[in-house]
């Protein structure tokens, strides 16, 4: 009886999962962005759009099959929406390139959204229209929205290439950096925040931010700048309260986890709201660091290092210019009274 119940649960769980298929050029580079999304179960590299049955990578690469490289995403719609997948897709491609993606040229490396049902088609087309409306540059958005027909998985050695072995990790990093993909994505999408779920679809109003932020606040949050150590507002602030993003006002850190690091910048060993923190690799200045950004505001905050105190061993080294400090006696008036219990 227990076995029957277990099988029923597994069957129901599998039934609840959905699939989505995207083409974004080299499939090695499209696996990671989707695998990082909570609710995504699997991301498989393969091919779609052609007429040859079960083609090999070598045959597809020849351009004779009319297939294009894709990733097929299996996801739990209760945890991650198709709109979330669309947002991740767009910001990882060049939607204006009809001849391939970056150094990879040819039809097999072009972009596409393959919809599996009418709902996906409607959402995909809507997202494309929005991308067009942004008018990021004067080039036409050429990524097509196509009906999904068949998917063929690529050979095993292509799956999870970016993390499979030490050798593939190195090859992936070299390829990704040399291809020009990262530089293009950072420049093209830097001012864009996509939110297809809420229908906000907000592109940052950079002109307005320049008017509302100080010069150093704008330089730090929007241009990834760094302020001078020991000569910034909060490096030695000992008052109790919380720190929020200067742009979005989302809660980020608390004075309870702030400590004197000796660096001259406000430092914390733990976020107040970890869901409001986004970490990404920063390869500037010929060294790899971990950048810290706010989730909603997408503001550059600083970096996180592994030389902090217990219990986390982390040091979130931030710029005061990216933060606004809210003293504990102002929390209620700012609608942040739920954090008052931290200081009781």
Q: What is the pLDDT of residues 213-243, one digit of tens each?
A: 999 999 999 999 999 999 999 999 999 999 9
Residues 179 and 301 in one domain: no
| Residue 164 CA: distances (Å) to CA of 95, 157, 167, 171 | 28, 8, 8, 11
| Residue 267 CA: distances (Å) to CA of 12, 230, 257, 308 | 47, 12, 8, 9
Residues 25 and 86 in one domain: yes
Residue 57 falls inside a structural domain: yes
Residues 215 and 167 in one domain: no
Identify the domain boundary among 188, 214, 237: 188
Domain total of the chain:
2
Residues 262 and 124 in one domain: no
**pLDDT > 50? residue 6:** no
Residues 28 and 61 in one domain: yes
Strand partners, 304: 290, 316
Residue 2 falls inside a structural domain: no
Residue 90 falls inside a structural domain: yes
Residue 197 falls inside a structural domain: no
Q: Which of 31-35, 128-132, 190-194, 215-219 is predicted with the least confidence, judged by mean pLDDT?
A: 190-194
CA dihedral 98, 99, 101, 107 (to 10 degrees): 100
| pLDDT for the residue 205 | 58
| pLDDT for the residue 202 | 44
Question: Average pLDDT in the 12-37 region?
Answer: 87
- CATH code for position 29: 3.30.1060.10
Residues forming the active site: 26, 317
Q: Distance between CA atoms of 196 and 78, rounded to whole angstroms?
A: 16
Element at 113 (helix H, strand E): strand 111-115
Question: Average pLDDT in the 27-39 region?
Answer: 92
For 162-176, what is each residue's pLDDT tens digit? 888 899 899 998 888
Residues 219 and 303 in one domain: yes
Residues 76 and 164 in one domain: yes
Residues 213 and 304 in one domain: yes
What domain range is 183 assigned to? 12-188
Residues 246 and 155 in one domain: no
Residues 134 and 273 in one domain: no
**Termini Cα distance of the chain:** 52
Residues 29 and 59 in one domain: yes
Identify the domain boundary among 136, 153, 188: 188
């Amino acid at each position: 009886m227990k076995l029957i119940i277990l099988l029923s649960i597994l069957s129901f769980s599998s039934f609840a999962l959905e699939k989505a298929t995207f083409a974004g050029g080299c499939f090695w580079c499209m696996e990671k962005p989707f695998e990082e999304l909570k609710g995504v179960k699997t991301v498989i590299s393969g091919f779609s759009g052609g007429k040859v049955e079960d083609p090999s990578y070598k045959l597809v690469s020849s351009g004779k099959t009319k297939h294009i490289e894709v990733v097929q995403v299996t996801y739990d719609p209760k945890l991650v929406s198709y709109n979330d997948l669309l947002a991740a897709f767009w910001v990882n491609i060049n939607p204006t390139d009809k001849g391939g993606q970056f150094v990879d040229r040819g039809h097999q490396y072009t972009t596409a959204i393959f919809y599996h049902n009418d709902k996906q088609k409607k959402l995909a087309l809507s997202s494309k229209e929005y991308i067009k409306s942004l008018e990021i540059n004067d080039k036409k958005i050429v990524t097509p929205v196509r009906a999904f027909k068949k998917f063929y998985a690529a050979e095993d050695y292509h799956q999870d290439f970016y993390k499979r072995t030490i050798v593939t990790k190195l090859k992936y990093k070299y390829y990704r950096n040399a291809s020009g993909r990262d530089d293009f994505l950072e420049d093209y999408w830097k001012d864009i925040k996509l939110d297809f779920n809420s229908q906000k679809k907000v592109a940052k109003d950079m002109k307005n931010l320049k008017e509302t932020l100080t010069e150093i606040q704008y330089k730090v949050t929007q241009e990834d700048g760094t302020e001078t150590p020991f000569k910034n507002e909060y490096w030695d602030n000992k008052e109790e309260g919380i720190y929020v993003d200067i742009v979005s006002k989302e809660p980020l850190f608390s004075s309870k986890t702030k400590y004197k690091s000796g660096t001259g910048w406000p430092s914390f060993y733990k976020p107040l709201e970890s869901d409001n923190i986004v970490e990404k690799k920063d390869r500037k200045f010929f060294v790899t660091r971990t950048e810290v950004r706010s989730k909603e505001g997408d503001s550059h905050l600083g970096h996180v290092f592994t030389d902090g105190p217990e219990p986390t061993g982390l040091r979130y080294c931030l710029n005061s210019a990216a933060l606004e400090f809210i003293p504990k006696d102002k929390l209620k008036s700012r609608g942040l009274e739920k954090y008052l219990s931290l200081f009781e």
